[in-house]
Amino acid sequence: MRRCYLIGYPVEHSMSALMHNAAFEELGLGYLYELKSVRPEALGRFTADEMRGEAVRGANVTIPHKVSIMGHLDEAYPEAAAIGAVNTIVNEGGWLKGYNTDGRGAMRALEETYGDLRGAKVILVGAGGAARAIGRHLSIVVDELSILNRTASRAESLVSGLKSLSGCNSTVTPAALTRENLKSRLVEADVLINATPLGMTPDTDKSPVDSDLLHPGLLVFDTVYNPLKTRLLREAEEAGARTLTGAKMLAYQGAASFELWTGVRAPEELMFEVVVDALRRDRR
């Protein structure tokens, strides 16, 4: 039995094990996916002691380890190295290689819902691992990209990094995450993306954006998928905006990880449906 993990802290809220194990079972593969709650101070030891074992094929990486995990790997795929964050590890005979499938998953979900993003004005809230991946992909396509974060210096660092990468075709600007900065940018924005954990179970009463700033004509994408409809998405719907749940991104990035581990095409629809069904049951 080959094993794959989700490494994060905490991980109890995650649907990844349910999603991946359903896919493994559907295709008759001898794999098992397990959640591993790893404190930041134990990440290096866990990577060295657990991840290189023969039975371990790889792992997903989530908050707060997507950036720090890079210091414990042997190699990073060029896309992950450029982004500066890893969400997928593949164990090749004890050699650990890092990939990032977050950006591809997010962009696929976005383009299915929004359409052609060329010329779009996008606000990205957050500057962590998910924001790095999504920001890299957006900076190649959109017209304007504003990155807002509670710690302004982190937004500035991310913008500086994006501008230094080849293929950055957008006007990319940083700002502190304040009501005033959001208000001035949201007036003309086409897309708002939350790439922070604000609103995630169990803190479902939180949102990074005041509801009165949301408006019709805006697409609001929340990368948080648990709950399925976050406070941000509920308030966006009430304001007449279109919404996109993080469950689509979860399924698409998970499918890409699945294929890296197994070499087999992932059952994407099944993976999405399993997550959505489970989240709907949790609300009953």
Dist. CA 245–CA 52, nearest whole Å: 34
Contacts of 256 by beta carbon, 8 Å cutoff, 6+ apart = 88, 101, 104, 105, 266
For residue 165, the Cα-to-chain-centroid distance in whole angstroms is 20
Q: How many helices and strands in the chain, by DSSP H and E?
A: 10, 12
Q: What is the 3-state secondary structure of 203-239? A: CCCCCCCCHHHCCCCCEEEECCCCCCCCHHHHHHHHC
66 labelled catalytic = yes
Q: Distance between CA atoms of 130 and 138, rounded to whole angstroms? A: 12
Instruction: Write the burial class of residue 52 (CB in 10 Å: 0-12 exposed, 13-18 middle, 19+ buried).
Output: middle
Query: What's the CA gap between 90 and 22, in Å, rounded?
Result: 20
For residue 240, what are its two tokens? 């007449």
Active-site residue among 66, 97, 229, 248?
66
Q: How far from 207 is each of 127, 198, 232, 236, CA to CA, in Å?
A: 16, 6, 5, 11
Write a three-state SS string for 122-171: EEEECCCHHHHHHHHHHHHHCCEEEEEECCHHHHHHHHHHHHHCCCCCCE
CB of 46 within 8 A of CB of 25?
A: no
- Point out the residues that are catalytic: 66
